[in-house]
Amino acid sequence: MNADEKIAVAHLNVAFRKGAGYVPVVHDINFTIGAGETLALVGESGSGKSVTSLAIMKLLAEAPKTRIDGSAIVADRHGAPIDLVAMGEQQMRHVRGNRVAMIFQEPLTSLNPVHRVGDQIAEAIRFHQSLSKAAARARALALLEQVGIPEPVKRLDCYPHELSGGMRQRVMIAIALAMEPDVLIADEPTTALDVTVQAQILDLLRNLQKKNGMAILFITHNFGVVAEIADRVMVMYAGRIVEQGSVSQVLSSPRMPYTRGLLAAVPRFEHAGLAQGELGTIAGFVPDPSTPPSGCAFHPRCGYSIAGRCDQQAPVLEEIEMGHQLRCVRWRELATEQEGAR
Amino acid sequence: MTTATHYLPASRRWAWLANPTLRRFMRHKLAVLGVVMITVLVLACVFGPYLLHYNDLSIDIRNRFAPPFTGNHYLGTDALGRDTAARLLNAGRISLMVGFCAMLISIVIGTLIGVIAGYYRGWVGAGLMRFVDAFLSFPSVFLVLVLAAFTKPSPMMITLIIAVTSWMEISRIVEAEIRSLRERDFTLAARMIGASNRWIMFRELMPNAIGPIIVAATLTIANAILLEAYISFLGYGIQPPLPSWGNMLNAAQQYLGKAPWLAIIPGLAITLAVTSFNFIGDGLRDALDGRSDLK
Amino acid sequence: MKERPLIDVVGLKKYFPVRKTFLAHRRDRDDNLVRAVDGVDLSIARGEVLGLVGESGSGKSTLGRSLMMLDPPTEGHIVFDNTEITPFNDRLLKPYRKRMQMIFQDPYGSLNPRMSVGDILAMPLRFHNPELDAAGRREKAGQALETVGLAAQYLDRYPHEFSGGQRQRIGIARALTLEPEFIMADEPVSALDVSVQAQVLNLFARIRRQMNLTMLFVTHDLAVVGHIADRVAVMYLGRIVEIAPTRELFSHPRHPYTEALMSAIPMPEPGQRRQRIVLQGDIPSPISPPSGCAFRTRCPYVLPACAQDRPLLREVSAGHGVACIRDDLELVSPLAAHPNPSASTTSLASTTSAYSLPSIANVRS
């Protein structure tokens, strides 16, 4: 891990126990995120994106129900590298919320409904730092201000249900940022929010990131949000990264048929109200992890798959241009097709 | 968590064995033990009397108060020389039967009232639930005794009396369940389609409340058996010469020093039956709770 | 050619009482009511798809449900095909239930987990087509299932065996069984993945044409409504603030809330971090909405006069109504950057077995 990288994940594999054996759900994930950079992790249900983030945070069920291999390296307070995958639960408790923080989709269930908001933030702080109650409360107040909650003094003593969804998410962000972590993992934090509130929260995250230079892993299924907030993007399908690159590379010239299919399925704002044809769809279903297709995991649903190649070879991640990687054996032919069609 | 239909096993006849609810139940050791014990008990009570050497009525004064394992009296004899084992098993038939039938009747009453109260809410619902509350506020044992004192103490009557005092708990549970189910989208969809109230209550909502009803049923049997034992013990229930575990205990009172087994044995039987049903109820509650009808 | 609209809503209000403690309870106090829908006028023409857009607290779902007489309105009139149905009880409503159907948001909660798909689909026929026997019902149910693209052999399966998208299709099939004229879809695609959402939207477009349906499509997603609706109404705090034909609304929004809403939508085009209007604060409480214009507390163009009278919808151009006293605003639409998508738009038309690359190349960063 370089000096300016905040998190380096290498060969991360996650498998769940089923009966006597293990079913792999996440295969060989590799990525790094630098300071002040945001990496978006995109996929649909069943792609393994949430499992990946939960595995890094060690929030999945304990072994032997799950098996995690690989490494996820972050820096501890003194700058020395520590591997999250190898850590025990006791050590992880000092890492979670401290060096690596996570925010979730549904703040109503992430916050304890019977405790006041200020107390919950203070409790998170006091777990990692020995501060007096008053000092922790003052810090909680400062955090609420930082995340843009109006009338923070009043809000400190509110219960979660007294706040709106957007405010609750801000409180979650405040708790996550309390210890100034290096890495923030955001698992669909704006999916349940209204679009205007989503804009506020994305703005907030961007500003906070500029200030403290943290690395953000942003999980979402919405490409619009990706374009808004991310520098780079990884597309996951069936537990594997199938396309990876900068946001402009992947959104402007997606090469992987799955990415192209996803982008074609999104109703376009600029075509609003015009007579349109059908939206692009991807036939078939997400495969069950315990019975993966042979060869390329996407081939049963791919309009470009060729029998004999796509169902035999399991493609590897290839670099097709600087910083843009792809998992498809046919990408060269498809690229020329696309060029020809333009 | 998507489940595409082509991943289903082709043969669906044995699919129920893989049913996750069953699997979860089997993981509950105590619950499985409960099932085993009850099965043994029921089989013993139904078939046992044919296998014993004595029947429950033959009096043999010379052999009275024989301790267990005397000759062919496996569990000894009582004050009149009757075979305890035979009495026990025949009593078991009656006690278990009373318990089971009382449970059935109270389930029917309780579910009916619970469904109606949970569905209609408003005045009807509130009124019904207050009616239930009123019944609940009577100490059940006293209510049972009072009723028993005024009626002819046949097993049928006892069953009815116990049922009348046991249905309230079930209706509370059912009412709560129906009340929450009523707000679910599929109920709204049924209303949208113009389904009649009766249909919605009994074809849409009630089948979804089966889980808590079953759990409540097992716990009700346990309670019913106990109640029968109480009132028979106090002399108001099943009357001799019909045996019941309760009245065996009653008869054994005066001989506690001389022939303690006359009390211990029916007591053990009651305990066994009641705890078994309780274990089963616990196991069912966990197994059915985990069942996810949402995803 | 002024045909009477299929649905006419006049002055619809739906208020919910807030339960106060026994001591604080006074029936006439103002802060006793949640004004979920606060005076809405609307009409939907036969064969039209009206999109109803709004965020949480806007009252769009409540409006939809009141329209369907699931929760009778507190005030106002609903006219369906020339008949006022507002005062009807369940018995009188029954023949209308057949003609107005609803599709729900949650694919996991809208199907009874204890009934097989066949039972779920046949149920409406029991009440409205009593002349059919069980075999007849089963046949119709099978047909409905095929209309939504699922095989008739799935009739004996149970909902939990299906994925979210398939369950939503079953919900649609149920709504179609009675061959209704009007369908109210309450956020039908919000809970679905992107690719599944596309399939369901395509299905809606197809059945709408095939069955000549009239629809009210409630959603919070402007891009979805842009794809499927003929006209769009924007709601804020229980009131309609703007209503216009779709393209017109998107290219020339006239209400500040519409402008903010559109500006907030993230678009999947890199490098487009445009100046967006970020509204401050939260939506006010529907228990005590601001006086005058409900949006004035967050409006970037607010004037003192906005606090006085509640603005009514006034027509600013053909079919385009706005509830704002200002008519001098130059509002920006995100479409300003893409006035006329190129002709390759039509290449989006495709069969459902393949997909095509959208003309992203033409949309510059």
Cα–Cα distance measured from residue C124 to residue B204, given in angstroms and rounded to the nearest whole number? 13
Parallel/antiparallel/unpaired status of strands C100-103 and C182-186: parallel
For the residues B144-160, what does the mean pLDDT come to? 82
* Contact indicator for A68, A14 with CB cutoff of 8 Å: yes
Instruction: Give C71-96 pLDDT, tens digit per residue.
Output: 889 999 999 998 889 888 888 888 88
DSSP C66-103: HHTTSS--SEEEEEETTEE-TT--HHHHHHHHTTEEEE
Tokens (6 digits) for A257: 């048929």
In a domain, C57, yes or no: yes
- Choose among B41, C278, C137, B290: nearest CA to A195: C278
* Contact indicator for B129, B175 with CB cutoff of 8 Å: yes
Instruction: Give C185-226 pLDDT, tens digit per residue.
Output: 999 988 888 888 898 999 999 999 888 999 999 998 888 998
Q: What is the pLDDT of residue C193?
A: 85
For the residues C43-52, what does the mean pLDDT come to? 93
Query: Domain extents for chain B?
Result: 28-56+70-290
Q: Which of C163, C194, C205 sits opposite A278 (nearest CB)?
A: C205
Q: In chain B, which residues have their Cβ closer than 8 Å to the Cβ of A221?
A: none
Instruction: Give B17-73 pLDDT, tens digit per residue.
Output: 557 778 788 888 888 999 999 999 999 898 888 888 777 777 878 878 888 887 777
Chains that touch C (3 or more CB pairs under 8 A): A, B
Architecture of domain A5-230: 3-Layer(aba) Sandwich (3.40)
User: How many Cα atoms sit within 13 Å of B117 on the Cβ side?
Assistant: 24
Q: In chain A, which residues have their Cβ closer than 8 Å to the Cβ of C270?
A: 227, 247-248, 251-252
| Residue A300 preceded by cis peptide, ω within 30 | no
Q: Are residues A286 and B7, on separate chains, in Cβ contact within 8 Å? A: no
Q: In chain C, which residues have their Cβ closer than 8 Å to the Cβ of B4?
A: 163
Q: Which residue of A has its CA nearest to C203?
A: A278
pLDDT value at B152 more than 80: no
Q: Are residues A277 and C246, on separate chains, in Cβ contact within 8 Å? A: no
Q: What is the pLDDT of residue C22?
A: 56
pLDDT value at C345 more than 70: no
Q: What is the pLDDT of residue C341?
A: 56
Tokens (6 digits) for B243: 């045996």
CA distance to partner chain C, nearest, from residue A71 (Å): 30
Cα–Cα distance measured from residue B166 to residue B110, given in angstroms and rounded to the nearest whole number? 8
Q: Which helix (H) or strand (E) element contains residue A11? A: strand A5-18
Tokens (6 digits) for A301: 């649903």
Q: How far apart are the first and last CA of chain B?
A: 7
Chains that touch A (3 or more CB pairs under 8 A): B, C
For the residues B135-143, what does the mean pLDDT come to? 81
Q: Are residues C365 and A221, on separate chains, in Cβ contact within 8 Å? A: no
Q: Are residues C127 and B8, on separate chains, in Cβ contact within 8 Å? A: no
Instruction: Give B198-217 pLDDT, tens digit per residue.
Output: 889 998 899 888 888 998 99
Paired strand residues for A34 = A5
B1 interface with A at CB cutoff 8 Å: yes
CA distance to partner chain C, nearest, from residue B114 (Å): 19
pLDDT value at C362 more than 70: no
Instruction: Give C240-266 pLDDT, tens digit per residue.
Output: 999 999 999 998 999 999 998 888 888
Query: DSSP state, B200?
Result: I
Q: What is the pLDDT of residue A342?
A: 46
Q: In chain C, which residues have their Cβ closer than 8 Å to the Cβ of B184?
A: 109
The three-class DSSP label of residue A97 is coil
Which residues 18-47 of A have a C-beta within 8 angstroms of C? 44-45
Q: In chain B, which residues have their Cβ closer than 8 Å to the Cβ of C104?
A: 185, 188-189
pLDDT value at B5 more than 50: no
Burial class (CB in 10 A: 0-12, 13-18, 19+), B18: exposed
- Could you tell me the residue range of the domain that residue C261 belongs to? 7-20+32-99+180-337
pLDDT value at C65 more than 70: yes
Q: Which of C205, C222, C278 sits opposite A199 (nearest CB)?
A: C278
Parallel/antiparallel/unpaired status of strands A215-220 and A66-75: unpaired
The percent of residues above 90 in pLDDT, for chain C, comes to 31
pTM, whole model, 2 decimals? 0.82
Q: Which residue of C has its CA nearest to B195?
A: C127
Which residues 6-65 of B have a C-beta within 8 angstroms of A? 7
Q: In chain A, which residues have their Cβ closer than 8 Å to the Cβ of C268?
A: 223-224, 226-227, 251, 263, 266
Parallel/antiparallel/unpaired status of strands A21-34 and A183-187: unpaired
Instruction: Give C90-132 pLDDT, tens digit per residue.
Output: 888 888 888 999 999 888 889 998 889 999 999 989 888 888 8
Instruction: Give C279-304 pLDDT, tens digit per residue.
Output: 777 788 888 888 888 898 888 888 88
Parallel/antiparallel/unpaired status of strands C83-84 and C75-80: antiparallel
Parallel/antiparallel/unpaired status of strands A324-326 and C100-103: unpaired
In a domain, C133, yes or no: no
Interface mutation target, options B3, B180, B186, B201, chain C, most CBs of C under 10 Å: B186
Q: What is the pLDDT of residue C365?
A: 27
- Choose among C317, C218, C298, C302: nearest CA to C260: C298
Interface mutation target, options A23, A44, A288, A301, chain B, most CBs of B under 10 Å: A288
Q: What is the pLDDT of residue B25?
A: 83
Task: Pick out chain A residues at pLDDT < 50.
Answer: 342
Q: Which of B2, B4, B7 sits opposite A45 (nearest CB)?
A: B2
Q: How many domains does chain C have?
A: 1
C182 interface with B at CB cutoff 8 Å: no
pLDDT value at B7 more than 60: no
CA distances from A77 to A82, A139, A179, A181 (A): 10, 19, 11, 10
Q: Are residues A338 and C363, on separate chains, in Cβ contact within 8 Å? A: no
Architecture of domain B28-56+70-290: Orthogonal Bundle (1.10)
Q: Which of C102, C108, C160 sits opposite B192 (nearest CB)?
A: C102
DSSP B153-193: --HHHHHHHHHHHHHHHHHHHHHHHHHHHTTSHHHHHHHHH
Q: Which residue of C has its CA nearest to A168?
A: C282
* Contact indicator for C249, C258 with CB cutoff of 8 Å: yes
CA distance to partner chain A, nearest, from residue B5 (Å): 10
Which residues 94-153 of A have a C-beta within 8 angstroms of C? 150
For the residues C305-319, what does the mean pLDDT come to? 88
Cα–Cα distance measured from residue A29 to residue A14, given in angstroms and rounded to the nearest whole number? 10
Cα–Cα distance measured from residue A248 to residue A225, given in angstroms and rounded to the nearest whole number? 13
ipTM rounded to 2 decimals: 0.84
Q: In chain A, which residues have their Cβ closer than 8 Å to the Cβ of B7?
A: 288, 291
Q: Are residues C174 and B2, on separate chains, in Cβ contact within 8 Å? A: no
C99 interface with B at CB cutoff 8 Å: no
Q: Rounded to 5 degrees, what are φ and ψ at C28?
A: -95, 5
For the residues C128-149, what does the mean pLDDT come to? 89
A252 interface with C at CB cutoff 8 Å: yes
C72 interface with B at CB cutoff 8 Å: no
Tokens (6 digits) for C326: 């200002």
- Taking phi over 0 as left and psi of -120 to 50 as alpha, with beta for the rest, A295 belongs to left
Sheet holding A66-75, edge to edge: A21-34, A5-18, A66-75, A81-83
C355 interface with B at CB cutoff 8 Å: no
pLDDT-based confidence at residue C347 (cuts at 50, 70, 90): very low
Q: Are residues B1 and A288, on separate chains, in Cβ contact within 8 Å? A: no
What mean pLDDT, rounded, does chain C reach? Answer: 83
Parallel/antiparallel/unpaired status of strands C49-53 and C231-236: parallel
Q: Are residues A45 and B1, on separate chains, in Cβ contact within 8 Å? A: yes
For the residues C167-195, what does the mean pLDDT come to? 90
Q: What is the pLDDT of residue C273?
A: 59
Q: What is the pLDDT of residue C346?
A: 34
CATH number at residue C48: 3.40.50.300
B2 interface with A at CB cutoff 8 Å: yes
CA distance to partner chain C, nearest, from residue B294 (Å): 6
Q: What is the pLDDT of residue B8?
A: 40
Q: Are residues C195 and A271, on separate chains, in Cβ contact within 8 Å? A: no
Q: Which of A44, A198, A270 sits opposite C341 (nearest CB)?
A: A270
Q: How many CB atoms lie within 10 A of CB A139?
A: 18
DSSP chain B: ----GGGS-S--SGGGGG-HHHHHHHT-HHHHHHHHHHHHHHHHHHHHHHHSSS-SS---GGGTTPPTTBTTBTT-B-TT--BHHHHHHHHHHHHHHHHHHHHHHHHHHHHHHHHHHHHH-HHHHHHHHHHHHHHHTS-HHHHHHHHHHHS---HHHHHHHHHHHHHHHHHHHHHHHHHHHTTSHHHHHHHHHT--HHHIIIIIIGGGGHHHHHHHHHHHHHHHHHHHHHHHHTTSSSPTTS--HHHHHHHHGGGTTT-THHHHHHHHHHHHHHHHHHHHHHHHHHHHHH--S--
Query: Domain extents for chain A?
Result: 5-230, 254-267+279-341
Q: What is the pLDDT of residue A339?
A: 58
